[in-house]
Amino acid sequence: MYARLRPWLFRLDPERAHWVTLRLLQMAGALPPIATWLRKLYSVPNTDPVELFGLKFPNRLGLAAGYDKDGLAWRGLGCLGFGHIEIGTVTPRPQTGNPRPRSFRLVEDEALINRLGFPGRGAQFVAKRMRGARPAGLALGVNLGINKDTPLERAAEDYLSLMEVFSPLADYLVINISSPNTPGLRQLQTREYLEGLLDSLTIEKSKPLLVKLSPDLDNEELEQALAVIMEKKVDGIVATNTTTARLHLQSNYASESGGLSGAPLTVRVRKMVANIYKLTNGKLPIVAVGGIMSGEAARAALDAGASLVQIYTGLVYRGPSLVKEILQTVA
């Protein structure tokens, strides 16, 4: 089905195509006959459940943050077989993000570049969308970010306000300190900022709290960030965000600024997962995201030390059949 739809979607601007897809999934989730049909179509029996940071996930596959920023379509997406969905990135106040064009398909590389800059309708809108019934067994996370005009010295205030809104609604929360598209945000990964930030957030947390790291950290930066994260008893790591590196790309869009995702990150993310697992002695749950474009890539990330995997760009290129392929591979 997606194979027939994809050529039409790929004629549209990437952001427009994404909006169309979200609207279709939103309608599907709101119509019980279609939702039931999708569950039957993409169901995989005997999947591998896992318990992490006090939560039970029905399988090891989730949808990464960025796909459903405003919580519009997560009920429809939940019918495709995902064990968890991460909504967001959500900021406290609505913001428009960066000027368009800001999203690019690198078809030759099975990749995307985006410089969206956390566009969204804000915390209160998303909270309203999350209330009510959810598909059985589905775990919901929320990815939290700061507004563009928030100084880094006041970042904790934005994150704390978001934790207050979403702790009653989400199963887990993720602190996004690694997007390359909000000026200065990645500085929050340094010990100088991270210690104070996590001091503030971990005192107030009532739900599992994870930190999303950049794939562009060098070994020393990663070791320092992990030392702080372990010391502050954060519940897990999401590895990784998009990269600003340009990894042997063929597309004409390779020179566009922003964060790169998709197939070029497959090996890079797997190596980073293995490094995090080694540096933490396997004591910190890892959610692998980036370059999960096949069942084999998902299996390799889990073998490297991840407890869960997430997809985004793979869904754009492969469609919902990728969900089923991964679940059949890792079950």
Each domain of the chain, given as residue ranges in start order, spans 2-330
Whether 103 is catalytic is: no
Kindly tell me if the per-residue pLDDT of 107 is higher than 80. Answer: yes
Mean pLDDT value of segment 300-322: 97
Distances (CA, A) of 215 to 15, 110, 212, 278: 24, 18, 10, 16
Query: For the packed helices 219-231 and 191-204, what is the interaxial angle rounded to 10 degrees?
Result: 30
> What pLDDT is stored for residue 96 in this prediction?
97
Q: Does domain 2-330 have CATH number 3.20.20.70?
A: yes
Position 247 scores a pLDDT of 85
HSE-CB of 42 using CA atoms within 13 angstroms: 24
Indicate the residue type of 257: S
**How far apart (Å, rounded) are the C-alpha atoms in residues 254 and 206?**
42
Query: Between residues 73 and 247, which one has the greater pLDDT?
Result: 73
Which pLDDT band holds residue 3 (cuts at 50, 70, 90)? confident
Catalytic residue among 103, 178, 179, 294: 179
> Which pLDDT tens digit goes with each residue over 116-146?
999 999 999 999 999 988 888 899 999 999 9
Q: Which long-range contacts (CB under 8 A, 24 or more apart) does 14-18 make?
A: 14/103, 14/104, 14/105, 14/112, 15/100, 15/101, 15/102, 15/103, 18/103, 18/316
* pLDDT at residue 1 greater than cutoff 90: no
**Per-residue confidence (pLDDT) for residue 302, from 0 to 100:** 98
Residues 73 and 35: their CA atoms lie apart, in Å, by 12
Burial of residue 116 (CB within 10 Å: 0-12, 13-18, 19+) is buried
pLDDT above 70 covers a percentage of the chain that reads 100
pTM over 0.95: yes
Give the residue-averaged pLDDT of 275-304: 98
Query: What is the average per-residue pLDDT within 79-98?
Result: 97
Report pLDDT for 257. Answer: 97
Cβ atoms 225, 213 nearer than 8 A: yes
| Amino acid symbol at 45 | P
Whether 331 shows a pLDDT value over 80: the answer reads: no
Pairing outcome for strands 103-106 and 50-52: unpaired
Res 20 pLDDT > 90: yes
Instruction: Show Cβ contacts of residue 179 under 8 Å, excluding neighbours closer than 6 positions.
Output: 89, 118, 145, 185, 186, 241, 242, 259
Q: Are residues 319 and 291 in contact, defined by beta-carbon separation less than 8 angstroms? A: no
For the chain, the average pLDDT equals 96
Q: How many whole angstroms separate alpha carbon 258 and alpha carbon 63? A: 21
Residues 215-257 pLDDT 10s: 999 999 999 999 999 999 999 999 999 999 998 999 999 999 9
Mean per-residue pLDDT, 201-222: 96
Whole-number pLDDT of residue 136: 83
